[in-house]
Structure 1
Amino acid sequence: MTPTKTSSHARSTLSLLAVASATAWMTLPTDAEAATRMRCSHQLPPAHHISKVIDRWAAEVKTLSDGDLDVQVFGSDSLIKANDNILAVAKGDIECAFSLNFQWGKTLPLMNVTVGPYTMSSIEAWKKWPTSEAATFLEERLLKKGVKNVVWMFQTNTSVFTSKGKPLLKPVDFQGLKMRGIGPAFDRGLKAMGATPVAIPGSEVYQALATGVIDTAITDVAAAWSRKYYEVQDHMTVVPVLAAYLHGYVNPGWYDKLTDKDKAALKKAGEDAAAWALEASQEAAANAPAELESKGVKVHVATPEENAAFKAAMAPAFAEGFADETGADGRKLLELVQKLQ
């Protein structure tokens, strides 16, 4: 059989198909052109007001980066455990995480400056915090520890001492109680009142209270609601004893590879989220006492005299511990914090 000759028209069609195929292959998205993955781990449950702010922040980052940053949020310790978040980001295992300031413990005890009993309870001071010298000072120290800070989220200046059977109204009431601790310096104040601090991640406190591993806890008044402490504790004393914040941070190596546009998106989203967190925290703190009472909790707001007694018992012990842990940097940071008052 005589081979069939390919017509010039057919050859032309095949050539065009080959060019089209090659062009399509060349224009397929490469890894470099795809959205940059940004996995963010945190410990808060979905109902927590700051958890909702984190979700809003993530959406804002995606919007401002025009989808270049694919922010994936993993809450409730679902990706990395709370105490492992800092190391995971510093090592580059994940790109981003959020931690409470006192979770820095001995790694960077400067972060506990706002945990000092009755040190920074002013909302006006917190409005100034994100762009303050104090915040910049901490951001520089965080970078030295291997993480780049991208957002400050005020969580509370209103805490509760939780208990079962009777309220905790004065320092002597803490005598002999096993209590969830916050961190070395703050726990000195608890010990000064006769309590025995126990280190427990926030996600495990409910179970510890339910099973009697600890007798009492201190937590954000809104967290007492969102974490359902009312199911295992029936008395709560509201005290402005400490100020806590959650902060978001990323791996510096990962950050340095971002475009200027994406870095600007993170900066703007961080500034916006700081304001959202302040608003959400004030609202949650205002609503939580009544919500707790609706579940049968006996809520007592500490009087000025009761707060003075707590401060007198706790503040000297904290100050001594904070000075020992932070040295000259701690003294400098306290001076910067005082400028905000």
Structure 2
Amino acid sequence: MFRGNAMHRRHLLLATAAGLAAPALARAQAPAVTMRLSHQYPPSHQHAGILAAFAERVKAKSQGAIDVQVFPAEQLARAGENFPAVARGAFEAAAAVNFQWGNTLPEMNVLTLPYLFTGLERIKKFPGSPVAQHLEGLLQKRAVRNLMWLYTTRRAIFTSGRKPVVTTDDFKGLKIRGLNALTDHALTAVGAAPSSMPGPEVPQALQSGVLDAGLTDVSAAVSRRFYEFQKFGTVTNWFCVFTHVYVNPRWFDRLSDAHRAIIVAEAQQAERDQIPVTEEVAAKALEELRARGMTVHEQTPAEEAAWSAAMQKPVVDAFLRLAPDNGARAIELLRAL
């Protein structure tokens, strides 16, 4: 009888211990850190793939302690809502195209000034460079901390339906899609009539005749099927675009040193991984445009020099008016790369 009671108590103690241990084990296995990351790119975009891989590596390196939850295609917030939401802490991180900052942070447009920063070797040096640090300091004043710079494009394509756009004279009178009020100065300088509109709206505008010509990244010309309604395309290293990921600094500062180190290291890996991916996507896009029947002309050095001479200065002058305090320094640092 005594032995039976002893065994019963032993089983009861073991069961109680197991019951107490289960919640503790669940707490230990639950992520210690959640990082929600909002971006506008569809899941098929190269940036979406890079950010998904970043999330997986962070989770693996932290042994599950950091859960990066990526929300593509504006699932968490619209592109224009990301900055205020991250700044106030509604979620932890978001991505933005550099020129989307507009007048809020006009210095971010420096990367997209025509023909200023399009060499691949210089682009590779940008993350961590003095000009990147300069822009990151300005972002910090806007209550966000920059985490990574993802190279997006350096190759634009000017598409048209009636005749190729090869010389600056070919722009005269063209109703063309612009990017924003700043870079549109380049188009008006050569006699075009730019109309800024979101990328998804451009195909319909080209098909209906609202626009005569398009301006976009070469890979976007494929994904939006420009070859179906635009016969000609001129490819040029016209601008550089970066997408950058930023975080709420208060959230980031509360992380442990070990967790911050993992996130930063994997962000830097994402920056390196993105460069060859973007170049490969652009090369394949040109092949597909030709295969789909578009007549594609790649700009010669002489043509590039002529376009640059006509287009760059009006945009730079407008940029310096928009960013009188820090714009000149941003250009100086960018040219020094």
When the two structures are superposed, what TM-score results if normalisation uses the length of structure 2?
Answer: 0.89
1:44 aligns with 2:44: no
Partners of 1:161 and 1:237 within 8 A in 2: yes
1:303 aligns with 2:300: yes
Partners of 1:184 and 1:321 within 8 A in 2: no
Coordinate RMSD, CA, aligned: 2.4
Match of 1:82 in 2: 79
1:148 aligns with 2:148: no
Match of 1:229 in 2: 226
AA partner of residue 273 (structure 1):
A
AA partner of residue 29 (structure 1):
R
| Equivalent residue in structure 1 for 2:20, among 3, 19, 22 | 22
Going from structure 1 to structure 2, the CA distance change for 1:36 and 1:177 (only over 3 Å counts) comes to farther
| Equivalent residue in structure 2 for 1:163, among 136, 160, 163 | 160
Q: Tell me, in whole angstroms, the C-alpha distance in 2 between the residues paired with 1:34 and 1:51.
A: 22
1:196-225 deviation line (CA, Å, top 9, x unaligned): 333323344334434444333322212222
AA partner of residue 198 (structure 1):
S
Match of 1:100 in 2: 97
Q: Which range is displaced more, 106-115 or 160-169?
A: 160-169
1:265 aligns with 2:262: yes
Q: Tell me, in whole angstroms, the C-alpha distance in 2 between the residues paired with 1:161 and 1:21.
A: 67
Match of 2:185 in 1: 188
How far off is 1:318 after superposition?
A: 0.5
Going from structure 1 to structure 2, the CA distance change for 1:223 and 1:321 (only over 3 Å counts) comes to same
2:326 alignment partner, SS class: helix
Partners of 2:31 and 2:64 within 8 A in 1: no
Q: Tell me, in whole angstroms, the C-alpha distance in 1 between the residues paired with 2:204 and 2:67.
A: 34
Going from structure 1 to structure 2, the CA distance change for 1:78 and 1:298 (only over 3 Å counts) comes to farther
2:324 alignment partner, SS class: helix
Q: Which range is displaced more, 256-265 or 196-205?
A: 196-205
Q: Tell me, in whole angstroms, the C-alpha distance in 1 between the residues paired with 2:272 and 2:16.
A: 55
1:279-309 deviation line (CA, Å, top 9, x unaligned): 1122222232121010111101122232222
Identity of aligned residues (%): 40
Partners of 1:48 and 1:223 within 8 A in 2: no
Q: Structure 1: 5+ residue runs without aligned partners?
A: 1-6
Match of 2:217 in 1: 220
When the two structures are superposed, what TM-score results if normalisation uses the length of structure 1?
Answer: 0.88
Partners of 1:61 and 1:266 within 8 A in 2: yes
Going from structure 1 to structure 2, the CA distance change for 1:228 and 1:324 (only over 3 Å counts) comes to same
Partners of 1:45 and 1:226 within 8 A in 2: no
2:126 alignment partner, SS class: helix
Q: Tell me, in whole angstroms, the C-alpha distance in 1 between the residues paired with 2:208 and 2:74.
A: 21
1:63 alignment partner, SS class: helix
Match of 1:324 in 2: 321
Q: Tell me, in whole angstroms, the C-alpha distance in 2 between the residues paired with 1:149 and 1:172.
A: 41
Q: Tell me, in whole angstroms, the C-alpha distance in 1 between the residues paired with 2:297 and 2:261.
A: 45
Q: Which range is displaced more, 217-226 or 10-19?
A: 10-19
Partners of 1:83 and 1:201 within 8 A in 2: no
Number of residue equivalences: 334
Q: Tell me, in whole angstroms, the C-alpha distance in 1 between the residues paired with 2:73 and 2:14.
A: 54
1:26-74 deviation line (CA, Å, top 9, x unaligned): 444289x534322222222333333322222222222233222222222
Q: Structure 2: 5+ residue runs without aligned partners?
A: none
| Equivalent residue in structure 2 for 1:135, among 132, 135, 160 | 132
